[in-house]
């Protein structure tokens, strides 16, 4: 059997967590050596339950099946000591021993950013994500965008990266036999042209609620910086942000009004000094000390243009994702109906409001 067989088997030992597996690897020198009974007998400090779990041979049998699946489905398996294993993730104490992937991404690119947020993203949050990723692509076209393929901000980040021709890595909470949510199968397939589907879980393992939290540590650990765009007070994006901070990664968040439910989590991260406040891609570059390559055009300093007082009055009254009529806005902001209509048209042309049938408007 080759090294890959034993590497995969090491990751499949029942009851063995990644941190302990890594200690065993360091102690014995190779995955193959761990499965030699004489070596195990000499390791007096080894937990008896782990020794018994290894000697049962269950992991070796599972590895035989997994290697056939890897070959049949054109899956790449990166072992923690392999050159192409993401070095940033390797530095985390609980990094998975093996990463399975489809597609291609240089997971050791010079710059990697994870973008996470609420699953109930507003039009404002989606617009913010799209602008941010576009600015990233114009400044650093070799950057990788990492997220979790979930509804909301995650999938928006992947789509924006794909549209901007940035590499993107989608980290899954299940094996590569499926895509969850199923609604994202088409975009997942498209991502393979300039990105990867990645998981630590072998073929056939279904998604379970607790596995999404485990998945989040990979999203956090693979990145230089974690950016939160819209989050409630609780949720997976806050967990990812805290994990990133624990891994000594830079964490950033876009602030919002205190009355906006999906900004409360971001505001909380900033308030507790877990995340730095950002308003643009340029803020990220400055905080990360990333110098723009020569020849790159100037990145806009704000994702939205400076508003005049009358425009700001109407814009500030509107809540992200909610629909308003021109008459309502005129009454609530004490603005003449003609002036209100003119302002709404200007804001729509600036790309920060959307128009809907029946003369309605929505804040992006």
Full-model pTM: 0.81
Q: What's the number of CA atoms in the CB half-sphere (13 Å) around residue 359?
A: 9
DSSP state of 194: S
- Token pair, residue 106, equals 């240089």
Q: What pLDDT, on the 0 to 100 scale, is given for residue 129?
A: 95
Q: What pLDDT, on the 0 to 100 scale, is given for residue 303?
A: 53
List of residues 6+ apart from 5 with CB closer than 8 A: 63, 64, 67
CB 27 within 8 A of CB 82: no
- Classify 319 as helix, strand or coil: coil
Rg (CA), the chain: 24
Q: What pLDDT, on the 0 to 100 scale, is given for residue 40?
A: 86
Q: What pLDDT, on the 0 to 100 scale, is given for residue 41?
A: 85
Q: What is the DSSP string of 215-262?
A: HHHHHHHT-SEEEEES--SSSHHHHHHHHHHHTT-EEEE----TT-GG
List, in order of start, the domains of the chain with CATH numbers: 1-72 (no CATH), 112-288 (3.40.50.450), 309-363 (1.10.10.10)
CB 250 within 8 A of CB 225: yes
Q: What is the DSSP string of 256-313?
A: --TT-GGGHHHHHHHHTTSSEE-SSHHHHHHHHT-PPPTTPPPPPSSSSPPPPHHHHH
- Tell me the pLDDT of the chain (364 aa) as tens digits: 689 999 999 999 998 999 989 999 998 999 999 999 888 888 778 888 888 989 999 999 999 999 999 999 999 999 999 999 999 999 999 999 999 999 987 899 999 999 999 999 988 899 999 999 999 999 999 999 999 999 999 999 999 999 999 999 999 999 999 999 999 999 999 999 889 999 999 999 999 999 999 999 999 999 999 999 999 888 899 999 999 999 999 999 999 877 788 889 999 999 999 999 999 999 999 999 998 876 555 554 455 567 888 888 898 888 876 788 888 898 899 998 888 988 988 888 777 787 776 678 887 6
The CA distance from 230 to 215, in Å, is 20
């Amino acid at each position: 059997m080759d090294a890959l067989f034993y590497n995969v088997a090491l990751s499949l030992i029942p009851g063995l967590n990644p941190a302990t597996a890594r200690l065993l690897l360091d102690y014995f020198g190779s995955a193959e050596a761990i499965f030699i009974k004489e070596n195990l007998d000499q390791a007096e400090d080894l937990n008896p339950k782990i020794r018994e779990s290894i000697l049962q041979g269950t992991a070796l049998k599972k590895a035989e099946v997994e290697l056939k699946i890897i070959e049949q489905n054109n899956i790449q398996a990166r072992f923690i000591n392999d050159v192409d294993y993401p070095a940033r993730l390797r530095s985390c104490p609980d990094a998975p021993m093996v990463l399975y992937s489809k597609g291609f991404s240089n997971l050791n690119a010079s710059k990697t950013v994870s973008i996470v947020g609420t699953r109930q993203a507003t039009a404002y949050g989606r617009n913010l994500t799209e602008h941010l990723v576009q600015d990233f692509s114009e400044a650093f076209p070799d950057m990788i965008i990492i997220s979790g393929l979930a509804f909301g901000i995650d999938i928006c980040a992947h789509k924006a990266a794909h549209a901007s021709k940035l590499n993107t890595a989608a980290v899954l909470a299940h094996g590569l036999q499926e895509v969850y949510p199923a609604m994202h199968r088409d975009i997942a397939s498209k991502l393979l042209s300039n990105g990867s589907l990645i998981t630590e879980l072998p073929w056939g393992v279904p998604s379970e609620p607790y596995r999404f939290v485990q998945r989040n540590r990979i999203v956090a650990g693979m990145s230089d910086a974690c950016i939160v765009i819209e989050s409630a007070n609780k949720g997976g994006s806050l967990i990812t942000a805290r994990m990133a901070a624990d891994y000594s990664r830079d964490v950033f968040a876009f602030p919002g009004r205190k009355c906006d439910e999906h900004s409360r989590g971001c505001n909380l991260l900033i308030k507790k000094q877990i995340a730095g406040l950002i308003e643009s891609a340029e803020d990220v570059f400055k905080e990360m000390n990333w110098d723009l390559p020569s020849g790159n055009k100037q990145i806009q300093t704000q994702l939205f243009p400076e508003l005049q007082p009358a425009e700001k009055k109407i814009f500030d009254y509107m809540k992200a994702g909610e629909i308003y009529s021109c008459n309502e806005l005129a009454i609530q902001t004490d603005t003449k109906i003609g002036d209100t209509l003119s302002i709404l048209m200007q804001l729509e042309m600036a790309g920060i409001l959307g128009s809907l049938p029946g003369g309605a408007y929505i804040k992006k």
